[in-house]
A and B are shown apart, each in its own frame.
Chain A
Amino acid sequence: MVTENDIQINSSKYENKQQALEEISTFVSKRTNIDKDKLLAGFLEREQESNTAIGDEFAIPHAVLTDISDSYVFLHIFEDGVDWQAYDDKKVRIAFSLVVAGDLHNVQHIRKLSAIASNLMDEEVQKILKESRNKKELSNLVNKMGEKL
């Protein structure tokens, strides 16, 4: 269940993806008590495999960690946009960060994260994510996205 506290609306400027991922890691660490450096290393490792930007101002950075049992999702809105080196050259304004339990995972948690990714391709969903800055509305939307793959 995503709450308003899992949503970050951020007006700061970030020079690049690395800086944005540091900010994401700090935010996620506060919410989960998972070590910030461990999160950042996980996010960076995944970016090295392939860029997590999916075009049209969206990205889904994720960290797969082996010693956690719960998986998490957070929504980060970067008002100023982040140069994510996306294939379409658009700055990323909306990032869903996923923290994924690699070994001891709860399948229902991961199913929810997969459903959120899948529903991110829905045009109506994209419109709300780009326009709404109401955390209540956004958290309701994310929960709805997670319901069905």
Chain B
Amino acid sequence: MKIVGICACTAGVAHTYIARDKLIKAAEARNHEIHIETQGTIGVEFELTEEQIKEADIVITAVDIKVSEDRFVGKKIVRIPTHIAIKAAGQLIEKLEQEV
């Protein structure tokens, strides 16, 4: 499946990026395409393209703060806190496989 997502933790310095890496590793290990944008103190990095969002089967927001979901209208969105992405990215991806 094709996944896009956003990671953003409260401080926006460290765990945002750890969550992103864990999600990418878990998804790629199961042969999924994944793109994750980070919204941290330094701003947006790895920004999602319109095309990536359009093609995505599912959107993951791994966030501890409020982020805009305006770009994902009409998409299935799974919302989790960053610590779930950090400790259970593999299980999350497996669960999503059954739902999509």
Contacts and interface: CB of A to CB of B under 8 A. Distances in A.
B10 A49 contact: yes
Interface stretch (B11-19, B51-59, B71-79): B11-19
Interface stretch (A30-38, A74-82, A107-115): A107-115
Interface string A65-109: 000000000000000000000011000000010101000010100
A79 B87 CA distance: 24
Interface size class of chain A, counting residues whose CB lies under 8 Å from the partner chain: 20 to 34
Q: Chain A CB within 10 Å — which of B13, B17, B42 has the most?
A: B13
Contacts of A49: 10, 64
Interface in A19-67: 46, 49-52, 54-55, 60, 62, 64
A54 to B, nearest CB: 5
Interface in B59-99: 64, 81-83, 86-87
A113 B14 contact: yes
Contact of B82 (A50, A98, A111): A50
Interface string B1-35: 00000000011011111101110010000000000
A107 B21 CA distance: 22
Contact of B15 (A54, A88, A111, A116): A54
A60 B41 contact: no
A96 B41 CA distance: 18
Contacts of B83: 50-51, 87
Contacts of B47: none
Given A49-B64, A100-B13, A54 B86 contact: yes
B18 A118 contact: yes
Given A60-B14, A114-B16, 7 more contacts: A49-B64, A50-B81, A110-B42, A113-B13, A114-B14, A121-B25, A149-B17
Interface of B: 10-11, 13-18, 20-22, 25, 40-42, 45, 64, 81-83, 86-87
